[in-house]
């Protein structure tokens, strides 16, 4: 029986597809599958807190809603966050062990965050544009460090928070808003020295915006409140 050209073409195509499918199947190697790390999804209703300084705080946003503290130490709001966010109450963690014990004192400092997802001493100072400029230009902190990092996950921020908190305790400050621009700038050399010690760098080789570089905490410069953070 004579095969028509059309049927012959169809037969050739079908046979080609069958062999192509078989070859693809036999050459497939499940061991060569590539896996891609999925990007971390950031919950816009969750805020981070400086848990090296502040424990069991109360977080409220500008609409008045209060966040619920989660098991992992973060704070989650039920609805979308309306900035600024304020952290009050709780305890100051004297030894930074993350546990409330008899050594802790009741927190009297009011922390703020005007944006981002972290409430820290840096974010509180940055509520004032002048102080934020000092943080970025003099201390070298980035916008991400100021708004989205905490001392728990950023070494520079940990050093900065320790230096500032020690300074506040030494000079009986109970409010970040009363720290002047001059007082903040006076801590640059202390911050640089302690940061470089952690990084194994000789701080005498690193220029800073201060003549003193011995790593000690300077006294409060006349308690002149000057440009205060709001």
pLDDT tens sequence across 75-126? 999 999 999 999 999 998 877 777 888 878 899 999 999 999 999 999 999 9
pTM of the model: 0.69
**pLDDT tens for each residue of 21-55:** 444 444 444 444 342 333 345 788 999 999 888 99
| pLDDT number for residue 203 | 44
Instruction: Please state whether beta strands 46-49 and 118-119 pair in parallel, antiparallel, or not at all (unpaired).
Output: parallel
123-156: b or e for each residue (b if 16 or more CB lie within 10 Å)? bbbbbbeebbebbeebbebeeebbbbbbbbebeb
Give the per-residue pLDDT at 97.
Answer: 77
Nearest by Cα to 145 from 165, 121, 129, 176: 121
Alpha-carbon distance of 166 to 66, in angstroms, equals 29
Q: How far apart, in Å, are the Cα atoms of 45 and each of 48, 85, 86, 90, 186?
A: 10, 11, 14, 21, 36
- Three-state DSSP state, 147: helix
Residue 207 has pLDDT above 70, yes or no: no
69 in helix, strand or coil? Answer: strand
Question: What residues does 113 pair with on adjacent strands?
Answer: 85
Q: Are 179 and 173 in contact (CB under 8 A)?
A: yes
pLDDT for residue 209: 45
């Amino acid at each position: 029986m004579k095969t028509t050209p059309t049927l012959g073409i169809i037969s050739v195509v079908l046979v080609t597809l069958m062999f192509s499918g078989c070859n693809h199947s036999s050459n497939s190697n499940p061991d060569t599958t590539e896996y891609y790390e999925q990007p971390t999804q950031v919950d816009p209703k969750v805020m981070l807190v400086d848990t090296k300084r502040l424990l069991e705080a109360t977080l409220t946003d500008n609409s008045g809603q209060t966040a619920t503290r989660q098991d992992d130490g973060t704070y989650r709001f039920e609805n979308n966050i309306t900035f600024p966010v304020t952290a009050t109450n709780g305890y100051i963690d004297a030894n930074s062990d993350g546990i409330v014990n008899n050594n802790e004192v009741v927190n009297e400092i009011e922390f703020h965050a005007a944006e981002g997802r972290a409430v820290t001493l840096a974010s509180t100072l940055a509520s004032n544009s002048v102080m934020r400029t000092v943080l970025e230009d003099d201390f070298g902190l980035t916008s991400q460090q100021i708004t989205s990092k905490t001392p728990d996950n950023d070494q520079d921020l940990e050093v900065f928070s320790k230096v500032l908190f020690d300074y506040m305790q030494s000079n009986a400050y109970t409010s970040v808003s009363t720290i002047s621009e001059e007082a903040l700038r006076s801590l640059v050399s202390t911050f640089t020295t302690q940061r470089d010690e952690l990084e194994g760098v000789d701080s005498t080789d690193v220029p800073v915006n201060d003549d003193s570089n011995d790593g000690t905490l300077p006294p409060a410069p006349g308690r002149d409140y000057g440009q205060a953070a709001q």
